[in-house]
Amino acid sequence: MADQQSPQASGLQVPPDVAAKFGSLIALIKQSESMNDEERQYWISILPIMTPEQVKNLQEILENERNQLQAIDAKYAKEMGKLESKEALRAEEDNRRKKRETRATAEQAHKEQEEQSAEDILKKIEGAA
């Protein structure tokens, strides 16, 4: 969607008088995701001979398309946010689990070391006695 406002960028030919009279509608035509460039050029070409009612209907259709696509994009972004939140939560849970396992392993090693130290002290005491 690179620079859709420029007729040269998309290869569309928009006469200056049509651009001046139908600027906002031409922008909608250029931004429409349901048309290819050939269809866009067709609509731009027939704009001057369309009745005001036809122009209004075309504008309403294109605005409706834009609004529906924006709603879909917003819903998608919201769903992706939920998924990212779930992934972040899952990653945090994994991180906490790993820390607990590491701490438990360290505590077990420390406990074994204390028990060994206690045995060594007892042996020294028994040997000295």
Give the global pTM.
Answer: 0.54
For 72, 73, 77, 80, 100, the CA distances from 33, given in Å and listed in that order, are: 13, 13, 19, 22, 51
Residue 54: what pLDDT?
Answer: 96
Banded model confidence at residue 10, pLDDT cuts 50, 70, 90: low
Work out the burial of residue 18: count CB atoms within 10 Å of its CB; fewer than 13 is exposed, 13-18 middle, 19 or more buried. middle
Banded model confidence at residue 5, pLDDT cuts 50, 70, 90: very low
Q: How far is Cα 88 from Cα 84, in angstroms, rounded to an integer?
A: 6
- % of the chain with per-residue pLDDT over 70: 91
SS3 of residue 76 by DSSP:
helix
For residue 118, pLDDT over 90 is answered with: no
> Which one is predicted more confidently, 57 or 2?
57
